[in-house]
Structure 1
Amino acid sequence: MRIHAESTWTPPPRQHDQPPPQLRRIVRLFRPYRGRLTVVGLLVGASSLVSVASPFLLKEILDTAIPQGRTGLLTLLALGMIATAVVTSVFGVLQTLISTTVGQRVMHDLRTAVYAQLQRMPLAFFTRTRTGEVQSRIANDIGGMQATVTSTATSLVSNLTAVIATVVAMLALDWRLTIVSLILLPVFVWISRRVGRERKRITTQRQKQMAAMAATVTESLSVSGILLGRTMGRADSLTKSFADESERLVDLEVRASMAGRWRMSTIGIVMAAMPALIYWAAGLALQTGGPSISLGTLVAFVSLQQGLFRPAVSLLSTGVQIQTSLALFQRIFEYLDLPVDITEPAEPTRLEKIRGEIRFEGVDFHYDAKNGPTLDGVELTVPAGGSLAVVGPTGSGKSTLSYLVPRLYDVTGGRVTLDGVDVRDLDFETLARGVGVVSQETYLFHASVADNLRFAKPDATDEEIEAAARAAQIHDHIASLPDGYDTLVGERGYRFSGGEKQRLAIARTILRDPPVLILDEATSALDTRTEHAVQQAIDALSAGRTTITIAHRLSTVRDADQIVVLESGRIAERGTHAELLARDGRYAALVRRDAELTPTVAP
């Protein structure tokens, strides 16, 4: 496989993860909403133009209306300033509504895209990646981008437009004072870029630490984790380990919050002191005999300069935020760029009616090229409606062989066919409809019994659900529960015993009614009496269907049409139960060992 990881999978660096292409990808996320963004841009532009009109109205009040005692003009100018404030506020609310809506839609698109991408990943990815890491990418990383995608774009356009409009207005009032006001701007831009790079680096470390904490919580606070921790007496050490993880996160959060804080504060202090510098420059010009500046012009200019302070600082902060958010986008794009090994062909074959013949033709499989083959040259044919049992020691490749049929893995050599068609050429719908799997790891959702069964067939009637449960020998138990089929199974089904969960899983597969059944240790968690009852249901269900049974207990495979013994990924023996016993080889040895072992009882 092409995915390599330890407890947390980290992809290799890619060229497209560098900032310029990444910025282009971020921009492409907003393309579907460019119409709404255009409206936001128009509102921002109009709001900025309206807002800079207020200082000019103030100038006319101070230089003309008040000195000349023109009450009518004073009233109109005052009403104009009030109207300016009202229009600016209305435009601000509208642009916030539209931009927030667009941002949330972009986050929805990202969450959905990442989830859909993960649904397409091969099983090997999930066996090598901690669940908490996956959850952290969707929850913490995308959630951390909320401010960026909902307000940063609007803030950038709004503040940039406000800065440009204000500078133009300042130049119109007095170009000399404008130069004094903007002389330190390049230094401020340089400082903000350095702060942005520093925060991006810390943010990357912080998100990795949050993912590690999420993985710890997911593993140790699950039902299985709690049981293991308490029975092993590790509750205190797990708490200490979590506290250490949390302490590291505290340090990173403080560093992220304080990175460049003093430098950005210095910018704020300098820009806040600018009015004093403007007054000083105007007074100095007046004392040295330079061109005089009217009181209205001076007040209007300082008002504009103060109005420039907020969007200018916000613009610099937005630049820092964009650089910081690149770390989050990079982590999301890493998942979106994961190679999907198992894909549907461009022109897939669809089988309307599936007979169920399965062939393994020279099948090889490697989990890792560095290690030996898991399967080596397997040749098998299971006729439609026939039954195959695969037995062998642990690690011989039994489960892997069965997972090749529904394409949970793809062969690395040879091919697997369903009704003569390579499973890699079939569409996913045909495979899902044609092949049902009951694995030894039974998974149930935290939902009702009925909802768990309907996962196999959403439109199933109550009668169909009950019939499937009866076939799996679980109906009587469900009916005895206070809430019957509405009973919540609990997280991962922990309100039910192992045997009951297995029977629910079998009922779920029966409800789907697939032509091909794969039973991977499906009765391993059942006691002897229940195993016998369920085996009868499976035998009845298997009539006319192709069944591949992976078995540890050999008592469940005696009646199979064909039994195959795997050793180190190769077929060591094949034949019927009677034929293999007569040879007194590996299968006969397994039968003798099985007879000596006391069956594991699961209530």
Structure 2
Amino acid sequence: MIWGELMIPRRMGHLIDYTIPKKDLNILGRQILFLCGIVVVILIAKAIYQLMEQIIANHIIKDQQTDLMTKLQSLGYAYYEKVPTGQILSIFENAVGQTQQTYTFLFPQFIYAMAQFMVPSVVLIMEQPVFFLITMVGNIIYIFLNKVANQRIEYYLTIESSAAQTSQQSLYDAIEATTELKMAGSKDWIIHRTIQDFKKYKTARMWSIFWRHFRYTTVGLTLTISTVLFYFYGLQEVRQGTLLIGELIGYSFLIGLISRGFSVFFYIIPAQYNAINYARYLYDFLALEPAVKRNEITEQEPLTSFDIQLENVGFYYQKEHPIIENVSCNIPFVQKLAIVGESGCGKSTILKLIGRFYDVTSGDIKIGGVSVKELGFNQYRSFFGYVFQDTYLFHMSIKNNIRFGKPDATDEEIIEAAKMAKAHEFIMETEDGYDTILGERGVSLSGGQKQRLSIARMMLNDPKVILLDEATSALDNATELAVKEALEKFTIGKTVITVAHRLSTIRDYDSILVLDAGYVKEQGSYEELMSSKGLFYNLVMRGMQDEK
């Protein structure tokens, strides 16, 4: 394309200086056809270039999004507990978009601008070095003015990228917490906060755009300076007979190419500042190490025993503030273990450690005598079924929300799981039954209905070990009793580990682990712990008082 653009001014100069004076229409026609041919070739080359650019860009975008989704999944539970959802969305909507621009636009344009500047410059230096020096006068002035603009652009783009993340999070909070905000009468507060965050972003963006336009203005100014000097000197050369008028026009085209390439080159550099800010943010994200190290074993001997052992297990986010310490217990297969204690004593943490949402800080957890860290991650997770207090439901049909527990399940299996979870009746009362589309996060369902769908998911998967974190806390007494009976039937021949809030529901459990400030305070059956009249006894008595 560059060589084609160079040939046009050459042929134009030849046309003016040699062809037109001869007044030969045949030669003139051939020259014009030749010029038209060059233009067609340039257009075809540009079309092919743009097509290839889009193909490459689409591959890059697809690969980058795949890498990000893979990374998000690998980071695990710990990352999502610490990082707001809005910040995660910002990675896809801002960081990815800006860094993708580097591959799809900035880098290709950078290469093209370099060629557009270098090739005509070499021609001018070899043929008319004075014209090249005249051209560089304006470009040197542009460098100094551009440097000032770039410093301001970089400053405001840094603020803009940070403000974009903050405003994204504020908008997400305003949408996600609409019900809570209305109930608390804080609608105006969140609107004001969101507007302020957007205002900060808008102000930074306005100034960055201003300085970009200032930079564009300097392009026209410096180009005008070079053009005036060029024609002043060039016309003198024409008068002296050392330069033909056609050559002067041809060289003017070359100067235009040089100035255009030079200005685009220096436009792309500051544009990269913004992309670099986001790329640094994206790089830091991709460099994050997952809290749980995956052991990707493709072939492994199947486990013959599913006994679970906790051996001096400790866990902490900060060493000086342990969540649990020196927790040891054996959970034989098909037995039921309940974990109880005051709020914040580490009950749910133990459940998450057993399910490998986190890895232990000290000690070890074994299943069938094998450390969980030595088991293939997917194989290990396939042994477990989970029901937690918070149930995430997708914006899809009830049927597919249950099928999430076992993607290849048949409709009959889904209905059977819903019946076991006592969810079939309310599902059939919805508008389209199992095909009813749930709102985002299941907003059209009550807390108890969500929990029953979560239990149906778990039942559909038919795991060997079931982890329950106050799984029936949102149910009314009658429904809780029905679900409890269904769980008792379903859990025959399975290990059950429960974090219990209502202590009356764990009377028939084989063993109860009583935690106090991260330590095992007591362990035994319901009757043993009640007869010892220790911490568990006090918890039961307090619960009875609260129910009165």
Q: 10, 15, 21: which is aligned to 1:56?
A: 10
Structure 2: how far apart are the matches of 1:527 and 1:341? 37
Work out which of the residue numbers 390, 400, 413 in structure 1 matches 2:339. Answer: 390
1:112 CA displacement = 2.2
Q: Does 1:234 align with 2:183?
A: no
Q: 60-69 or 142-151: which moved more?
A: 142-151
How many angstroms apart in 2 are the aligned matches of 1:72 and 1:171? Answer: 35
Residue type of the alignment partner of 1:436 = G
Q: Distance in 2 between matches of 1:471 and 1:357?
A: 26
Instruction: Indicate if the aligned counterparts of 2:307 and 2:368 stay in contact, CA closer than 8 A.
Output: yes
Instruction: Answer yes or no: is 1:150 the counterpart of 2:76.
Output: no
| 1:458 maps to 2:407 | yes
Equivalent residue, structure 2, for 1:579? 528
Report how far residue 167 of structure 1 moved.
2.0
Q: Residue 172 of structure 1: CA displacement? A: 5.2
Residue by residue over 1:355-397, the C-alpha shift from the partner in whole angstroms, topping out at 9 and shown as x without a partner, is 42111011111122232x2111111001011110111111111
Contact 2:238–2:245 (Cα < 8 Å) also in 1: no
* More divergent stretch after superposition (105-114 vs 503-512): 105-114
Supply the distance in 2 between the matched residues of 1:216 and 1:551 (Cα, whole angstroms): 35
Identity of aligned residues (%): 28
| Equivalent pair of 2:86/2:168 in contact (CA under 8 Å) | yes
Paired residue for 1:85, among 32, 36, 39? 39
> Is residue 68 of structure 1 aligned with residue 68 of structure 2?
no
**Deviation per residue, 1:268-291 (Å, 9 max, x gap):** 22213433321200233466x5x6
In structure 2, the residue matched to 1:94 is: 48
Indicate if the aligned counterparts of 1:515 and 1:545 stay in contact, CA closer than 8 A. Answer: yes
Q: State the AA in 2 paired with 1:595.
A: M
Which is further off, 350-359 or 476-485? Answer: 350-359
Shift of residue 308 of structure 1? 2.9
Contact preservation (8 Å) 2:387, 2:469: yes
Q: Does 1:488 align with 2:437?
A: yes
Q: Decide which of 269, 273, 296 is 2:221's aligned counterpart.
A: 269
Tell me, yes or no, if structure 1 residue 205 matches structure 2 residue 154. no
Q: Which residue of 1 aligns with 2:397?
A: 448
**1:132 aligns to what?**
86
Matching residue of 1:538: 487
Which structure 2 residue ranges, 5 or more long, are not aligned? none
Deviation, 1:506, is 0.5
Select which of 248, 264, 270 maps to 2:200.
248
Deviations 1:306-328 (A, max 9, x none): 23332222122122222331111
Distance 1:557 1:502 in 2: 19
Match of 1:369 in 2: 319
Give the Å deviation of 1:351. 5.2
Query: CA deviation digits over 1:540-576, x for unaligned, max 9?
Result: 1111111101100012211111111111111111111
Matched-pair contact (CA < 8 Å) for 1:565–1:572: yes
| Uncovered stretches (5+) of structure 1, i.e. residues with no partner | 1-46
Q: Which deviates more from structure 2 when the two are superposed, residues 71-80 or residues 243-252?
A: 71-80
Corresponding position of 2:232: 280
User: What is the CA distance between 1:489 and its match in structure 2?
Assistant: 2.1
Q: 1:417 aligns with which of 347, 366, 370?
A: 366
Write the deviation string for residues 56-91 of structure 1: whole angstroms up to 9, x where unpaired: 111111111111223222111111111111111111
One-letter amino acid of the structure 2 residue matched with residue 316 of structure 1: F
What is the aligned counterpart of 1:312 among 221, 246, 262? Answer: 262
> Cα deviation per residue 1:393-424 (whole Å; 9 max; x = unaligned)?
11111000111111111111110111111111
In 2, the alpha carbon distance for the partners of 1:559 and 1:258 equals 72
Cα distance, 1:424–1:312 mapped onto 2, change above 3 Å: same
Matched-pair contact (CA < 8 Å) for 1:52–1:169:
no
Q: For 1:49, give the aligned amino acid.
A: W
TM-score of the superposition, structure 2-length normalised?
0.95
Matched, 1:339 2:289: yes
Q: Quick one: which of 514, 519, 527 aligns to 1:565?
A: 514
Deviates more, 1:184-193 or 1:277-286: 184-193
8 Å contact kept, 1:448–1:488: yes
**Alpha carbons of structure 1 residues 235 and 335: separation in structure 2 relative to 1, 3 Å:** same
SS in 1 for 2:354: coil
Return closer, same or farther for 1:154/1:430 CA change in 2, 3 Å cut-off: same
Give the residue type in structure 2 aligned to 1:334.
D
> Does the CA contact (< 8 Å) of 1:209 and 1:245 recur in 2?
yes
Structure 2 residue identity aligned to 1:212? T
> 2:115 corresponds to which residue?
161
Secondary structure of 2:521's counterpart equals: strand
For 1:491 and 1:323, locate their aligned partners in 2 and report how far apart those are by CA, in whole Å: 37
Q: Is the 8 A contact 1:349 1:426 kept in 2?
A: no
SS of 1:221's equivalent in the other structure is: helix
CA 1:563–1:351: 2 relative to 1, 3 Å: farther
Shift of 1:334: 1.0
**Are residues 139 and 214 of structure 1, via their aligned partners in 2, closer, same or farther at CA, if it must alter by over 3 Å?**
same
How far 1:303 moved relative to its partner? 2.0
- Which of residues 246, 249, 267 is equivalent to 1:296? 246
Amino acid at match of 1:446: H
For normalisation by structure 1, the TM-score amounts to: 0.87
Q: CA deviation at 1:122?
A: 3.9
Taking the TM superposition and a 5 Å limit, the aligned residue runs for 1:151-190 are 151-171=105-125, 173-189=127-143
Kindly state the Cα deviation for residue 495 of structure 1 after the two structures are TM-superposed.
Answer: 1.0
Is 1:497 equivalent to 2:446 in the alignment?
Answer: yes
Residues 268, 313 of structure 1: 8 Å contact kept? no
Amino acid at match of 1:379: S
Deviation for aligned residue 1:211 = 1.1
Paired with 1:122 and 1:474, the residues of 2 have a C-alpha distance of 29
Counterpart contact for 2:138–2:223, Cα < 8 Å: no
Residue in structure 2 matched with residue 506 of structure 1 by the alignment: 455
Q: Secondary structure at the match of 1:132?
A: helix
Residues 117-161 of structure 1 deviation map (CA, whole Å, 9 limit, x = unaligned) = 121114232222111011101112212334332122221222222
SS in 2 for 1:410: coil
Alignment partner for residue 329 of structure 1, among 279, 284, 302? 279
Partner amino acid for 1:145? T
Q: Secondary structure at the match of 2:14?
A: helix
**Residue type of the alignment partner of 2:449:** E
RMSD: 2.0
Secondary structure of 2:22's aligned partner? coil
Could you tell me which residue of structure 2 aligns to residue 430 of structure 1? 379
Provide the secondary structure at the position in 2 that maps to 1:374.
strand
CA–CA distance in structure 1, aligned partners of residues 326 and 320 of structure 2: 18
Whether the 8 Å CA contact 1:107–1:149 is kept in 2: the answer is no
Give the 3 Å change call, closer, same or farther, for CA 330–136 of structure 1 in structure 2.
same
Answer yes or no: is the 8 Å Cα contact 2:386–2:458 preserved in 1. Answer: yes
Pairing 1:1-80 to 2, within 5 Å after superposition:
47-80=1-34
- The amino acid of 2:406's aligned partner reads K
Q: CA deviation at 1:260?
A: 5.2
| 2:139/2:223 contact within 8 Å kept | no
For 1:215 and 1:459, how far apart are their aligned partners in 2?
36
Residues 135 and 255, structure 2, Cα contact 8 Å, conserved in 1? yes
- Per-residue CA shift, 1:465-489, capped at 9, x if unaligned? 0111111111121122231111122
